[in-house]
Chains A and B, each alone.
Chain A
Amino acid sequence: MPHDHDHPHDHNHRHDPAAPHRHPPRPDQDDTLTYWRAMEIAVRELLIEKGVLTADEVRGQVEDMDNRTPLQGARVVAKAWTNPEYRKLLLSDGNLACEAIGQERGPYKLVVVENTDTVHNLIVCTLCSCYPRWLLGLPPDWYKSRNYRSRAINEPREVLKEFGTTIARGVTVRVHDSTADMRYLVLPKRPAGTEGWSEEKLAALVTRDSMIGVAFAQNP
Chain B
Amino acid sequence: MAAAEALSPKFRSGDHVAVRAAFPIGHVRTPYYIRGKRGVIERLCGVYGNPEELAYARPGLPKQPLYRVRFRQHEVWPDYRGSAVDTVDIEIYQHWLEPA
Contacts and interface: CB of A to CB of B under 8 A. Distances in A.
A180 B48 contact: yes
Interface residues of A, number: 24
Contacts of A109: 45-46
Given A178-B91, A180-B51, A154 B77 contact: yes
Nearest to B88: A175
B11 to A, nearest CB: 16
Contacts of A144: none
Interface in B41-100: 45-46, 48, 51, 66, 68, 73, 76-77, 80-83, 85-93
Contact of B82 (A157, A177, A178, A180): A157
Say whether chain A's binding surface is mostly helix, strand, loop, or mixed.
mixed
Residue of B48, B68, B87, B88 contacting most chain A CB atoms (<10 Å) = B88
B12 interface: no
Given A179-B30, A180-B66, A182-B45, A174 B91 contact: no
Contacts of B73: 154, 173, 175
A167 to B, nearest CB: 8
Interface string A171-207: 1111111111110000000000000000000000000
Given A111-B68, A154-B80, A155-B82, A181 B87 contact: no
Nearest to B76: A154
A169 interface: yes
Interface string A7-32: 00000000000000000000000000
Contact of A177 (B51, B81, B86, B89): B89
A169 B83 contact: yes
A34 B46 CA distance: 38
A177 B68 CA distance: 10
12 contacts: A111-B45, A126-B33, A172-B85, A173-B83, A173-B87, A174-B89, A175-B87, A175-B89, A179-B29, A181-B45, A181-B48, A182-B91
Nearest first, the 9 closest Cβ-Cβ pairs linking A and B are: A180-B91, A172-B85, A175-B88, A177-B90, A169-B83, A173-B86, A157-B82, A181-B48, A179-B91
Given A126-B31, A175-B88, A179-B91, 16 more contacts: A154-B73, A154-B80, A155-B81, A157-B81, A157-B82, A169-B83, A171-B83, A172-B83, A172-B87, A173-B87, A174-B86, A175-B86, A176-B88, A179-B90, A180-B45, A182-B91
